[in-house]
């Protein structure tokens, strides 16, 4: 039985793709271990999967002045020492890293022990952690064709992002029962994102009288962002967030309005859902969502409406255009080389451990 160490943490985006790999890794006969930070959010997520979890010291790698810049390097060194010990103890055949600062000492330790490493970069431009670990990696996977230019040519592989299998196993009938919607009318799902929901929520609610003429609407509006005055509106259902019901709601919806976080849009690609992307403004972020959205637009997967151009009229026009060309977007997604990320990554794992 081959042994694999998964690593990555700090945000859900550095953990959920690893969780998505677990069923196929187990089916392929891998014994799986996880290295994360001692008290990071990844610990609870991974232990819930029944995977042995090992916590190491970690420090953030900042490009700006902070007093912790004087202490965190020592934490990284301690984490590297702990990771070296775990490589000796667990004797993995391969390491798969999803990035985040905790992955740096793990990947470098694996490289020192001559254990093959596969890294995965979610965003269009590589983050600092992956830049530091690339020299130790055998292969570097990515989500976007444009990312290939930033990666070592002999290591770069366009895979897409591992997506949880259960997202594609939803029941349309269960969603109809949950929502009470009519089976013969189309459904638009709005995913504003917990952090960047305000502008999208307002635009959708301002356009609601017109949208409801043609659509039934599921609105995932974010924690604390329900509009009590709209409760009971026929054809409109709002949730702060959903968990176990999400696959069913995906099975029911025909179009999606969404922010453009890398993992979220890769899920929509895997589910073949034509999407209007409204990326988080560069004023409120480092601009990675805009790059992600424009890449999906170029590939024919999505339409893009930037937040600065978001009005009732522009939103209605974009939804109408997206629906008119729905079949073209689905066809482009079906032809995408990023549609079987898990299969490609499993193949790479076999290649580097052969």
Q: At residue 134, does pLDDT exceed 60?
A: yes
Q: At residue 241, does pLDDT exceed 90?
A: no
Q: At residue 354, does pLDDT exceed 60?
A: yes
- Which residues 6+ apart lie within 8 Å of 173 measured at CB? none
Residue 98's pLDDT is: 95
Q: At residue 194, does pLDDT exceed 90?
A: no
Residue 41's pLDDT is: 87
pLDDT band at 309 (very low <50, low <70, confident <90, very high): very high
Burial string for 286-297 (b: 16+ CB within 10 Å, else e) reads eebbbbbbbbbe
Mean pLDDT value of segment 24-34: 97
Per the model's pLDDT, the better-predicted residue between 288 and 347 turns out to be 347
Q: At residue 100, does pLDDT exceed 70?
A: yes
Report the share of the chain in percent with pLDDT over 70: 94
Residue 66's pLDDT is: 56
pLDDT band at 234 (very low <50, low <70, confident <90, very high): very high
Q: Which of 39-48, 196-205, 287-296, 313-322 has the highest mean pLDDT?
A: 313-322
DSSP assignments along 133-194, one per residue: HGGG-SEEEES-GGGGGGS-TTTEEE------GGGG---HHHHHHHH---TTS-EEEEE--S
Q: At residue 290, does pLDDT exceed 80?
A: yes
Q: At residue 62, does pLDDT exceed 50?
A: no
Mean pLDDT value of segment 324-331: 98
Residue 243's pLDDT is: 86
Q: Could you tell me which residues are beta bridge partners of residue 48?
A: none
Per the model's pLDDT, the better-predicted residue between 223 and 279 turns out to be 279
Neighbours of 249 (CB within 10 A): 22
Domains and CATH numbers, the chain: 3-161+338-353 (3.40.50.2000), 168-334 (3.40.50.2000)
Do 324 and 6 contact (CB within 8 A), yes or no? no
Name the burial class of residue 39, with classes exposed (0-12), middle (13-18) and buried (19+) by CB atoms within 10 angstroms of its CB: exposed
Residue 351's pLDDT is: 97
DSSP assignments along 251-302, one per residue: HH-SEEEE---HHHHHHHHHTT--EEE-PPPGGGS-SHHHHHHHHHHHTTSE
pTM to 2 decimal places: 0.86
Q: At residue 317, does pLDDT exceed 90?
A: yes
Q: Which of 63-72, 192-201, 243-252 has the highest mean pLDDT?
A: 243-252
Burial string for 319-330 (b: 16+ CB within 10 Å, else e) reads beebbeeeeebe
Name the burial class of residue 228, with classes exposed (0-12), middle (13-18) and buried (19+) by CB atoms within 10 angstroms of its CB: exposed
Tally of residues, the chain: 354
Mean pLDDT value of segment 139-147: 96
Q: At residue 340, does pLDDT exceed 90?
A: no
Q: Evaluate the CA torsion angle 290, 296, 299, 305 in order and state its sign.
A: negative
Do 104 and 36 contact (CB within 8 A), yes or no? no
Q: How is the chain split among helix, strand and coil, in percent rounded to 5?
A: 45, 15, 35
Mean pLDDT value of segment 137-149: 97
Instruction: Give the closest residue to 270 by CA, choosing from 296, 303, 288.
Output: 296
Instruction: Give the closest residue to 279 by CA, choosing from 268, 263, 291.
Output: 291
Give the max Cα distance, the chain: 63
Residue 287's pLDDT is: 80
């Amino acid at each position: 039985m081959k042994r694999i160490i998964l690593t990555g943490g700090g945000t859900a985006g550095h953990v959920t793709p690893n969780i998505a790999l677990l069923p196929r890794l187990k089916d392929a006969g891998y014994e799986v271990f996880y290295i994360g930070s001692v008290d990071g959010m990844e610990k609870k997520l991974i232990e819930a999967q029944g995977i042995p979890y090992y916590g190491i010291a970690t420090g953030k790698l900042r490009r700006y002045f902070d007093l912790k810049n004087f202490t965190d390097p020592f934490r990284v060194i301690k984490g590297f020492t702990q990771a070296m010990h775990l490589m000796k103890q667990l004797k993995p055949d391969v390491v798969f890293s999803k990035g985040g600062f905790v992955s740096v000492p793990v990947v470098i330790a694996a490289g020192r022990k001559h254990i093959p490493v596969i890294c995965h970069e979610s965003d269009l431009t590589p983050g600092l952690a992956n830049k530091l670990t690339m020299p130790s990696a055998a292969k570097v996977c990515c989500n976007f064709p444009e990312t290939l230019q930033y990666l070592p040519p002999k290591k770069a592989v366009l895979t897409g992002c591992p997506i949880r299998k259960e997202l594609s196993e939803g029941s349309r009938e269960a969603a109809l029962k949950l929502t009470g919607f009519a089976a013969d009318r189309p459904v638009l799902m709005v995913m504003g994102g917990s952090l960047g929901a305000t502008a999208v929520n307002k635009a959708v609610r301002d356009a609601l009288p017109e949208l409801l003429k043609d659509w039934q609407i599921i609105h995932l509006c974010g924690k604390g962002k329900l509009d009590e005055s709209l409760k009971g509106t026929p054809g409109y259902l709002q949730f702060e967030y959903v968990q176990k019901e999400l696959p069913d709601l995906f099975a029911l919806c025909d179009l999606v309005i969404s922010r453009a976080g890398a993992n979220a849009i890769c899920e929509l690609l895997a589910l073949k859902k034509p999407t209007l992307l409204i990326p988080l403004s560069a004023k409120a972020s480092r601009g990675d969502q805009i790059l992600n959205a424009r890449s999906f637009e170029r590939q024919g997967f999505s339409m893009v409406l930037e937040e600065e151009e978001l009005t009732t009229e522009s939103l209605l026009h974009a939804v109408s255009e997206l629906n008119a060309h729905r079949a073209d977007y689905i066809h482009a997604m079906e032809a995408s080389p990023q549609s079987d990320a898990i299969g490609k990554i499993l193949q790479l794992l076999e290649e580097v451990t052969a």
